[in-house]
Chain A
Amino acid sequence: NAGVTQTPKFQVLKTGQSMTLQCAQDMNHEYMSWYRQDPGMGLRLIHYSVGAGITDQGEVPNGYNVSRSTTEDFPLRLLSAAPSQTSVYFCASSDGIRDSPYGYTFGSGTRLTVV
């Protein structure tokens, strides 16, 4: 059972480039989300989805797009990378929005550097 798989693990982009961070889960979880983690800022929610075809913005959505065409996949797109998007990105899933007795399952992260 792989859990939550994120690719790539590391990425360097030039300012203005675009890319997609991939996230896939094999636990049939309805809820999936993207966080960014920065020193001194903790975990901040970017976008989330409560099921296939349904997405919504989190705390820091600007500069990021998401879609949810299947239960398993929840890619995060950076349309025009900026240095302020240098961060570690985590994908998480859950079988309930907040009240799952087992909480969220996180991927191992993507470390993104924008130069």
Chain B
Amino acid sequence: LAKTTQPISMDSYEGQEVNITCSHNNIATNDYITWYQQFPSQGPRFIIQGYKTKVTNEVASLFIPADRKSSTLSLPRVSLSDTAVYYCLVGVPNAGNNRKLIWGLGTSLAVNP
């Protein structure tokens, strides 16, 4: 059964680097890996997207190994405002030539002073 697996929760302190890994054992060949951030009472917000190797933007980096069966979201020097739930989203093969999007259940990150 295709699924994604993420840690349920993580704790960190301000200024530290946080790495959240998502395992996706059946990712579709041509699909991207996308990460979202969600604050309470808000919709998820796009953070970063990648296909392979490493992608970096102004808020995060995404590391994807060659087999693409996992991905790691890296948040450099977190602050209290990074306390949120982080979701990975991947596409997996579905019936026929279709692909199905699979959301992880989210990792609740708590950043402490």
Contact = CB atoms under 8 A, between A and B. Distances in A.
A5 to B, nearest CB: 11
B44 A42 contact: no
B78 to A, nearest CB: 21
Interface residues of A, number: 20
Contact of A90 (B43, B49, B101): B43
A98 B44 contact: no
Given A99-B32, A102-B46, A103-B46, A42 B106 contact: yes
A108 interface: yes
Contact of A101 (B49, B103, B105): B49
Contacts of B42: 108-109
Interface centre among B43, B87, B103, B105 (most CB of A within 10 A): B43
Contacts of A90: 43-44
Nearest to A41: B105
17 contacts: A41-B105, A42-B87, A42-B104, A42-B106, A44-B103, A90-B43, A92-B43, A98-B99, A99-B32, A102-B46, A103-B89, A106-B45, A107-B43, A108-B41, A108-B43, A109-B42, A109-B43
